Amino acid sequence: MNRRMLAREDESSADAPVTLADQTAINTFSTLHSRHSILTDTLAQKNTEKEYLADAATELELSDDDDIVPYKVGDAFVCLRVEEVRELLEEEGRALDSEIEELEGRVRNEQGKMDELKVQLYAKFGRSINLEA
């Protein structure tokens, strides 16, 4: 990370006092940023899980429909026919797609709120406040 001292004109001046509303906006931004980071990580995990499901479905294509394969349910494995496992994987995929869609909506919503607060805070404090992650 490249660190440097602020130029005198970039420093906070007495012209921009921090009001309670400003502090509340800063705290709200911080909360939104934390939540956004968590949601982004969760979304990445769900996308990885979706890839794993797709890989498992591809592997099942190589098997006969009457073969018995282990299928994980919770912490246990159950032996099921390939056809049943395919159906279960499709159901899981649909559920995962809806979770991913909901998470993406929440991420967009949080990002929109953060962008609004950035505009508001940068307008008042200029470069004397850092809201970039």
The pTM for the full model equals 0.78
Beta bridge partners of 71: 78
Q: Residue ranges per domain, the chain?
A: 34-126
Domain 34-126 falls under CATH 1.10.240.10: no
Q: CB 46: neighbour CB atoms within 10 A?
A: 17
What is the predicted pLDDT for the residue at 5? 61
- Of the pLDDT bands very low, low, confident and very high (cuts 50, 70, 90), residue 7 is low
User: 3-state SS string over the chain?
Assistant: CCCCCCCHHHCCCCCCCCCHHHHHHHHHHHHHHHHHHHHHHHHHHHHHHHHHHHHHHHHHHCCCCCCEEEEEECCEEEEEEHHHHHHHHHHHHHHHHHHHHHHHHHHHHHHHHHHHHHHHHHHHHHHHCCCCC
Residues 81-115 have pLDDT tens digits of 999 999 999 999 999 999 999 999 999 999 999 99
- Average the pLDDT over 69-87 and give the result: 93
What is the predicted pLDDT for the residue at 127? 82
Residues 22-54 have pLDDT tens digits of 999 999 999 999 999 999 999 999 999 999 999
What is the predicted pLDDT for the residue at 18? 87
- Of the pLDDT bands very low, low, confident and very high (cuts 50, 70, 90), residue 3 is low
Using CA atoms, how far apart are residues 101 and 107, in angstroms rounded to an integer? 10
